[in-house]
A and B are shown apart, each in its own frame.
Chain A
Amino acid sequence: MKKYIINWGPPFLFLACIILIWQLSVDVFKIPLFILPSPKNIFSVFLSKWNLLFSDLGITMLESILGFMVGNLFGIGMAVLFVHSKFSERSIFPFMIALKAIPLVAFAPLLILWFGYGLVGKIVMAALICFFPAIVNTTVGLKAVDPEAMDLMRALFATRKQVLFKLRFPSALPYIFSALKISSTLSVVGAIVAELSGAQQGIGYTILQASYQIDTPLLFSAIIMASIGGILFFGLIALTEKKVLYWHEGLVG
């Protein structure tokens, strides 16, 4: 219990101070509602619009998680192909590194043109964002195998499948999880940006509507809701990593 207070006390206190200063500044300087609503104001809107925000978050998370799964599945699959075919790796991998560096969210309006206002465009956006970290990290991870362990496998005439499942894939897991953690938050970003470019529902849609109507308290509430979604998703992946990588000595950057 004491350890709990020592760990969580200071950040909690800091947050409380920030909220208090915010509340006081808004009250004292009489900042207009549409510029900066007070925490009290945001909180009451957050509660009254809870149903709307909650269903919006549901939509956005559905897009993010589906995109996350599709993007990572393709990324990891391609990496497995690369490791088994030098030719495909040599011809495709350099582009993957280059594409990883470009701001993929710039494609969002294009995806709206191609896939319309529905969920598909958003899922594609989230998947695209997840794809590149997955393919690059998994490729590196699958190849970062101890050469002596490879010798051991060779001496036993292990099949490619055995090498993949018994050696390469588990060795790559720390790298894969480091990509999953990055892309868990990025997938939510991708889905929201795609929603901002044109949607009929979702957190991004509500953010856009609130800004058109200069409903700043709703805007803040939507941002908070989106943050909760992103943090929970990241937390889930980080927790899974801890469970799966119990054997790992350190974390991969």
Chain B
Amino acid sequence: MDYARGAYALSASDLFHSYRSNDKKIDAIKNINFNIKNNEFVSIIGPSGCGKSTLFRIVGGLLEPNKGEIRCFGLSTHEALQKNMIGFVFQNPVLLPWRNVKKNIALPLEIIGNNSAFDKRIEQLISLVGLQGFEGFIPKELSGGMRSRVSIARALVTNPKILLMDEAFGSLDELTRERMNIELGRIFEETQKSVLFITHSIAEAVFLSDRTIVLSKRPATIQEIIEIDLPRPRKIKLKTEKRYIDLTQHLRDRFIPEAEL
């Protein structure tokens, strides 16, 4: 049993969390159970304010759930964080504005005190995310898409096994967002991580994922887990194929009942 659970990159069992707001107890998430396999890209999609971010913080070990637990390859989140097994990409790029691209990417290595092959690793990541030539630029001088690229590179610098992304492209314009989806798809296929990707974009979820977890309104419970059986590598022309369109339509129906159309 333990071995079986340890085989999953991420395993959530019976998560429950509530918080207090104006003396009222509000349940944020309830009965959340899911497993993410190694090298699997799973997205979580749900209406805004449904508790996605609470779930993100719990999965990442930044918030202790009231009930239930998260296991990363069989370890507790605390242990997984200590072993640098989890990389974070937040809603905003959260770059330190006084550090240039290279130094922002290097930040996690500086903090954990890992100095071996420092420069080479950063160089590789800069070319992986396509930022060659911008190493010395500071965030002020970068576009939104470039800032996202830096934050992805920073999440990957400690070579984590799991990448957690919370509406990572939510602040980007539509064109840049589509571009970043293609880039992230490529990065995922090249780096072989397990990814948990929180989003409120149906197109994004279908384009990138192996499976999509659909959450209900608050308190967030799992409504459905959908297999996205589209071939990889994912290319932009996928978006015109019937299977892709059917899947997005299926997801859309989940959020907007036919009666309202």
Residues of A in contact with B (beta carbons under 8 Å apart): 146, 148-149, 151-158, 162, 166-167, 170, 173, 246-249
Is B196 part of the contact surface with A, judged by Cβ < 8 Å?
A: no
> What would 22 A/B residue contacts be, using CB atoms closer than 8 Å?
A146-B92, A148-B91, A148-B92, A148-B94, A149-B96, A151-B62, A151-B88, A152-B108, A155-B81, A155-B88, A156-B84, A156-B108, A157-B81, A157-B111, A162-B111, A167-B96, A170-B96, A170-B98, A247-B97, A247-B98, A248-B140, A249-B97
Given A146-B94, A166-B107, A166-B110, A249:B140 Cβ within 8 A: yes
Considering only CB atoms, which chain B residue lies closest to A245 in the complex? B98
Q: Give the residues in chain B near A162, CB-CB below 8 Å.
A: 111
Given contacts A148-B90, A170-B96, 11 further A-B contacts (CB under 8 A): A148-B94, A151-B60, A152-B107, A152-B108, A155-B62, A156-B84, A157-B81, A157-B111, A158-B111, A166-B110, A170-B98
Considering only CB atoms, which chain A residue lies closest to B98 in the complex? A247
Residues of B in contact with A (beta carbons under 8 Å apart): 57, 60-62, 81-82, 84, 86, 88, 90-92, 94, 96-98, 107-108, 110-112, 138-140
CA of A152 to CA of B104 in the docked complex: distance in angstroms?
A: 12
CA of A32 to CA of B98 in the docked complex: distance in angstroms?
A: 58
Q: Give the residues in chain A near B92, CB-CB below 8 Å.
A: 146, 148
Expressed in whole angstroms, the minimum distance between the Cβ of A198 and any Cβ of chain B is 45
Chain A's interface: helix, strand, loop or mixed, by majority? helix
Kindly identify which residue among B62, B107, B138, B140 contacts A154, using a CB–CB cutoff of 8 Å: B62
Considering only CB atoms, which chain B residue lies closest to A249 in the complex? B140
Expressed in whole angstroms, the minimum distance between the Cβ of A83 and any Cβ of chain B is 18
Q: Give the residues in chain A near B138, CB-CB below 8 Å.
A: 246-247
Given A156-B112, A167-B96, A151:B90 Cβ within 8 A: yes
CA of A173 to CA of B110 in the docked complex: distance in angstroms?
A: 21
Contacting pair A153 B94 (CB below 8 A) = no
Contacting pair B139 A247 (CB below 8 A) = yes
Q: Give the residues in chain A near B82, CB-CB below 8 Å.
A: 157
CA of A167 to CA of B97 in the docked complex: distance in angstroms?
A: 10
CA of A226 to CA of B94 in the docked complex: distance in angstroms?
A: 45
Q: Give the residues in chain A near B112, CB-CB below 8 Å.
A: 156-157
